A and B are shown apart, each in its own frame.
Chain A
Amino acid sequence: MSARAEARAWVAQRVSAAVLAVCVAVHLATMILAVHGGLSAAAILGRTRGSVAWATFYGLFVVAVAIHAPLGLRTVAAEWLGWRGRAANLVWCAVGILLLGLGARAVAAVAL
């Protein structure tokens, strides 16, 4: 990656972190409320299926994760394993795409 691209990646990491701060908080609150409220899986799906709001929220969450997690792991791997370079960058890119795919599948499963 060029210095320019790395700078952009850093900004993307910060922006996705801000998004995740909100998404994670909302998600945790939702999970706790759902469990304490005794909601069954069917009841939860009854609320999420066909919901544009839930689809949008979790869709955004998935995109933020797909950006943030690979970039973070890339830095950790570079600093602790010395794993750098083109091959490493391609692998982390692939991880991001994988997370995006898996996440989109999950969102589709509960929201469509």
Chain B
Amino acid sequence: MQGPDTTLQVSVWRGRADGGFQRYAVPREGSQTVLDIVTWIQRRLDPSLAYRFACRVGMCGSCAMTVNGVARWTCRTHVETVVQDDRLEIAPLANLPIVRDLVTDMREFFDKWARARGQFKPTATRHDDFAQVRPDSPARQAVDAAIECIGCAVCYAACDVVAWNPDYLGPAALNRAWTLQRDTRDGAHAERLAAVAGDAGCHACHTHASCTERCPKHLSPTGSIAGLKRATTLAVLKGEL
């Protein structure tokens, strides 16, 4: 199909929000990932290109970018999966302020995590016996289904509601909140429910499921948010919220 003498025309976002796409010619190789492309440009063509990566093997989520309009992990995206007519467009993740080039400011993403009370609140002390949590209990299974999130922000970048509603906590924060709501050891259930309710919380989700479609860990924030909707509705009907 394509040999080593094929050249890719790669458009890469340079600058801040008021920047623009810059074209680079990158030789096409076999088994090439988009991260390989970005790295090649930075090493051979333009050392001023700023981008993030760490593990480069699909574990850390640092390399998330927008490739041909879609948020994905660049180390896990083979060029042949996304290339169109030997062209590629690489931009920073959407819905986040751009620091420079392909690097986004992730602070708001993690601030919303905190605002959703995405932290465990312990109830036991070292003097208590170990908590008994059966792995096959429905509550723990619900937690296990959603716990593997590594905070890569691909879901946040893919979400329409995040784009339309600046206060919306977003799929990752709400997904994490759900895992804690189903954790029998956690002691902040009531406060967390109040934190995730409302127009900035789970009730803003329109179940477009872009988050679930794009999650590289195959999680379902849509399902977690549906769980939060059920929990808040029950609380409203019981007069607890």
Contact = CB atoms under 8 A, between A and B. Distances in A.
Partners in one complex: yes
B161 A6 contact: no
A27 B195 CA distance: 40
A68 to B, nearest CB: 15
B200 interface: yes
A6 B165 contact: no
B233 A3 contact: no
Contact of B203 (A6, A78, A79, A80): A6
Given A3-B194, A79-B164, A8 B236 contact: yes
A30 to B, nearest CB: 32
Contacts of B197: 3-4, 6-7
Contacts, number: 44
Interface residues of A, number: 15
Interface residues of B, number: 18
A78 B161 contact: no
A78 B198 contact: no
A3 B204 CA distance: 11
A31 interface: no
B236 A1 contact: no
Nearest to B168: A79
Given A3-B197, A3-B198, A10 B165 contact: no
A84 B204 CA distance: 13
A12 B104 CA distance: 38
Nearest to B196: A3
Interface in B182-200: 194-195, 197-200
Nearest to A13: B203
Contact of A80 (B164, B199, B233): B164
Contacts of A1: 198-199
B237 A2 contact: no
Interface in B87-125: none
B101 to A, nearest CB: 28
B232 interface: yes
Interface string A2-44: 1111111011001000000000000000000000000000000
Given A10-B203, A11-B233, A11-B236, A4 B165 contact: no
Given A2-B198, A78-B199, A7 B241 contact: yes
Given A7-B198, A79-B161, 14 more contacts: A2-B198, A3-B194, A3-B197, A4-B197, A6-B197, A6-B199, A7-B236, A7-B241, A11-B237, A14-B233, A78-B164, A78-B165, A79-B164, A80-B164
Interface of B: 161, 164-165, 194-195, 197-201, 203, 229, 232-233, 235-237, 241
Interface of A: 1-8, 10-11, 14, 78-80, 84
5 contacts: A1-B199, A3-B194, A4-B197, A10-B232, A10-B233
